[in-house]
Amino acid sequence: GAGVSQSPSNKVTEKGKDVELRCDPISGHTALYWYRQRLGQGLEFLIYFQGNSAPDKSGLPSDRFSAERTGESVSTLTIQRTQQEDSAVYLCASSLVGRTSTDTQYFGPGTRLTVL
Amino acid sequence: GNSVTQMEGPVTLSEEAFLTINCTYTATGYPSLFWYVQYPGEGLQLLLKATKADDKGSNKGFEATYRKETTSFHLEKGSVQVSDSAVYFCALYLLDEKLTFGTGTRLTIIP
């Protein structure tokens, strides 16, 4: 398909474990974004990539959260030593140009993370 | 900072009813405004957008008009269908800043 894909779709982990969430953006999109959606709440911005660099990491909630992007394509969001408050749906989006334009962000289906 | 306030849900309507979901914003500058929709089990999809004052975005029978004087972007549809049941998010965007979302409004349409 031509859309943004994310894996896994669901992840259940034990408190204290590390998890990796993957995002495959739309081919050719230079900008990639990660968001978190807690139950019953809006989307919280986490991090923005332009190419392989991240000019805005201001939304990462703690140093347990990190993300990287390689080949101007796939991105991985890593949460170390997971806590129960990390339980949420993690959404990835991509856009053609990025923050210097008003182009549309296209979202993936999300990864539902449950920390027991 | 920038923020979006939207009507709290859940909203339940009968099929063919008129829908309004209110959205107001606070922003430094002149943002672009969006409505995204999240159908059950699916990802967020752009429903419509408007990039300047008095613009009207429309799609799938939904409309929203960018009102600078009232800092609003209310979503309307004249006759809703069961298939419109979803969560609707209002959002704003300013160049070089992040996309800022409201908390979402869950809409349920009953036959």
pLDDT, tens digit (0-9, with 9 covering 90-100), for B81-110: 999 999 999 999 988 788 899 999 999 999
Out of A33, A101, A108, name the one closest to residue B43 (CB).
A108
pLDDT in tens, B26-79: 998 889 999 999 998 788 899 999 999 999 999 999 999 999 999 999 999 999
Say if A91 is an interface residue toward chain B (CB within 8 Å). Answer: yes
Q: Residue A84: helix, strand or coil by DSSP?
A: helix
Cβ distance A45 to B89 less than 8 Å, yes or no, reads: no
Smallest CA–CA separation between B8 and chain A, in Å?
A: 11
B96 touches A at CB < 8 Å? yes
d(CA A74, CA B97): 22
Is the distance from CB of A10 to CB of A90 less than 8 angstroms? no
Q: What is the pLDDT along chain A (116 residues), one digit of tens a residue?
A: 579 999 999 999 999 999 999 999 999 999 999 999 988 778 899 999 999 999 999 999 999 999 999 988 999 999 999 999 999 999 999 999 887 777 788 999 999 999 99
From the list A45, A48, A109, the residue facing B43 with the nearest CB is: A109
Residue B75, both tokens: 């979503």
Cα–Cα distance between B47 and B89 in angstroms, integer? 9
- Is residue A89 within 8 A of residue A36, CB to CB? The reply is yes
Is A84 part of the contact surface with chain B (CB cutoff 8 Å)?
no
**Residues of chain B neighbouring A58 (CB-CB closer than 8 A):** 98
Cβ neighbours of B42 in A, within 8 Å: 109
Q: Is there a contact between A45 and B99 if contact means CB atoms under 8 Å apart? A: yes
Within 16-45 of A, beta carbons closer than 8 Å to B belong to 33, 40-43, 45
Return the structure tokens found at A78: 């890593």
Say how far apart CA B13 and CA A74 lie, in whole Å: 41
